[in-house]
């Protein structure tokens, strides 16, 4: 997986590029001011009664020129997100190059949207896609960096589980660390069992060895420490509490939290944000074997708590329990984890809204505001203390699940809260990490939901704390 290739759909070569005009809702006339009369007549001839071009985001209208194709219009409606620009690579003729005419839009959003819309996971296809390209003007390095981070995360999530197991995911984390000169440690074998016993118990059922990768970037102790943790369950069968086959179909994406955490780390390092960074990725597979954990087993955790296994399919919270306890020891200014943790979060909020839980209101406000600003929204759910007793165990300190059929995402977050001290500002993001269908800028498949929101918040925090 390349860490340096310009995202598909973008080019730095503007030669032979064609003009692309952006049209907002009710803004056709202003967008085509000064356009030649032939193109104007062409636009008027295609007008639909009762409808004006520009109202429907992603709609494209090609314009004639002396050599055939002379330009195009792109409708973005009243959508101020990057996503309408995702139409550029696939709605315009293949292999053409386009330059944006100045108008009522944000250039960074346009570049980011074009790259997000061009993305296709075609690694295993004999015939690759041939998108149109947007010529990137100077000053768009930030948008390119973010697009690279998102596409990197998407690639990891989309890779089949037979090709991306715990070792390969750990390899990706190590490669990322080496690319940006970050210190890193890979924890395996007896060291893993001693240091991350709950995580090791999850991975014990698989022939593919579990591992943890720790990444450290930035050495200046005066910089605020940001700690990121990611659930990296490369495939989740459910263990002995076996998932039904339909629920297993997308379980290659159960490492989506780790993929998003690594993509976020990549962007932080590439943008040289004024923080210190620690990343912890738990790389495991939840399988069935004679070594797999069983329902009602009791396992130990890094924090010293003993946990009763109420359901072997609630394995992600065990992975995170050890990672969060480890990260908390460093006393980070912010601690954020990403995980495809519960189906209950999707029932509550659907696929587009990751659930945010936080023990710190100021942190939560910053994350929510940045989610809105970047069109990468989060939705806060409560750490409702009244449900905490639902996790009581008669034989251990804590059960992994409750037998009550309610508030599954909240209960999972309350479980994690046991492993984060109150003095650490913590945010838990329960994300879907997937697009169920193709939409503008969001092709079907793996998705880095929450990455851009958290990046924006960390960038704003670093600026504020200087």
Torsion from C-alpha of 138, 145, 446, 214, nearest 10 degrees:
180
Q: Which of 21, 317, 346, 442 is catalytic?
A: 317
Task: In whole angstroms, give the CA distance from residue 102 to residue 100.
Answer: 6
Catalytically annotated residue among 80, 243, 373, 439: 243
Tell me the two tokens of residue 89: 């690579």
Q: Based on the residue annotation, tell me whether 280 is a catalytic residue of this protein.
A: no
**Which region holds residue 248: left if phi is over 0, alpha if psi is between -120 and 50, else beta?**
alpha
Question: In 344-454, which ranges are E strands?
Answer: 355-358, 379-380, 398-399, 426-430, 434-435, 445-446
What Rg value do the Cα atoms of the chain yield, rounded? 24
Q: 3-class DSSP state for residue 156? A: helix
Look-up: residue for tokens 């579990």? 210
Least Cα distance to 415 among 386, 383, 444, 442 occurs for 383
Whether 317 sits among the annotated catalytic residues: the reply is: yes
Q: Distance (Å, rounded) from C-alpha 72 to C-alpha 97?
A: 11
Report the 10 Å Cβ neighbour count for 243: 15
Residue with token string 């991975």: 203
| Residue 100 CB partners (closer than 8 Å, separation 6+) | 20, 22, 107, 110, 134, 137
Q: Contact, 174 vs 186, CB < 8 A?
A: yes
Cα gap 344→14, rounded to integer Å:
48
For residues 140-159, one letter each, b for 16 or more C-beta atoms within 10 angstroms of the residue's C-beta and e for the rest, the string is: beebbbbbbbbbbbbbbbbb
CA-CA distance, 340 to 354, in Å (whole number)?
A: 9
CA atoms within 13 A on the CB side of 355: 24
Q: Say whether 139 sits in a helix, a strand or coil.
A: coil
In angstroms, rounded to a whole number, what is the distance separating the alpha carbons of residues 258 and 253? 10
What tokens were used for 307?
A: 């946990």
Q: Identify the H or E element spanning 215.
A: strand 211-217
Helix, strand counts (H, E) of the chain? 15, 19
Cα of 291 vs its chain's centroid, Å: 32
Please identify every residue annotated as catalytic.
243, 317
């Amino acid at each position: 997986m390349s860490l340096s290739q310009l995202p598909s759909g973008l080019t730095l070569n503007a030669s032979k590029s064609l003009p692309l005009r952006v049209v907002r809702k009710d803004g056709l006339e202003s967008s085509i001011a000064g356009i030649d009369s032939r193109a104007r007549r062409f636009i008027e001839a295609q007008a639909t009664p009762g409808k004006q071009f520009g109202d429907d985001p992603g709609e494209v209208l090609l314009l004639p020129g002396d050599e055939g194709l002379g330009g195009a219009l792109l409708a973005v409606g009243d959508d101020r997100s990057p996503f309408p620009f995702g139409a550029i690579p696939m709605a315009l003729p293949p292999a053409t190059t386009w330059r944006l005419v100045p108008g009522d839009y944000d250039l960074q959003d346009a570049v980011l949207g074009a790259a997000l819309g061009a993305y296709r996971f075609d690694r295993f296809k004999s015939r690759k896609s041939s998108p149109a390209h947007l010529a990137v003007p100077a000053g768009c390095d930030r948008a390119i960096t973010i697009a690279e981070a998102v596409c990197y995360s998407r690639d990891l999530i989309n890779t089949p589980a037979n090709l991306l197991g715990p070792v390969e995911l750990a390899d990706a984390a190590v490669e990322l660390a080496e690319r940006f000169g970050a210190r890193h440690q890979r924890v395996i074998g007896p060291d893993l069992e001693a240091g991350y016993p709950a995580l090791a118990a999850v991975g014990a059922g698989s022939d593919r060895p579990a591992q943890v990768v720790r990444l450290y970037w930035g050495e200046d102790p005066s910089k605020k420490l940001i700690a990121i943790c990611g659930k990296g369950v490369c495939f989740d069968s459910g263990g002995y509490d076996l998932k039904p086959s339909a629920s297993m179909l997308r379980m290659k994406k159960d490492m989506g939290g780790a993929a998003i955490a690594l993509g976020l780390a990549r962007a932080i390092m590439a943008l040289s944000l004024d923080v210190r960074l620690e990343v912890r990725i738990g790389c495991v597979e939840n399988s069935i074997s004679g070594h797999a954990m069983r329902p009602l087993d009791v396992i130990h955790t890094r924090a010293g708590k003993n946990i009763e296994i109420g359901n072997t399919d609630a394995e992600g919270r065990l992975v995170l329990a050890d990672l969060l306890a480890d990260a908390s020891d460093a006393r980070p200014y912010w601690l954020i984890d990403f995980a495809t943790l519960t189906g209950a979060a999707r029932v509550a909020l659907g696929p587009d809204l990751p659930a945010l839980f936080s023990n710190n209101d100021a942190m939560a406000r910053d994350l929510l505001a940045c989610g809105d600003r970047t069109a990468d929204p989060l939705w806060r759910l409560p750490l409702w203390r009244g449900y905490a007793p639902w996790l009581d165990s008669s034989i251990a300190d804590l059960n992994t699940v409750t037998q009550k059929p309610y508030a599954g995402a909240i209960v999972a977050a309350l479980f994690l809260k046991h492993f984060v001290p109150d003095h650490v500002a913590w945010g838990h993001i329960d994300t879907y990490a997937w697009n169920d269908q193709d939409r503008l800028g969001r092709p079907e498949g793996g998705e880095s939901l929450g990455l851009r929101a958290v990046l924006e918040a960390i960038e704003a925090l670093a600026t504020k704390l200087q």
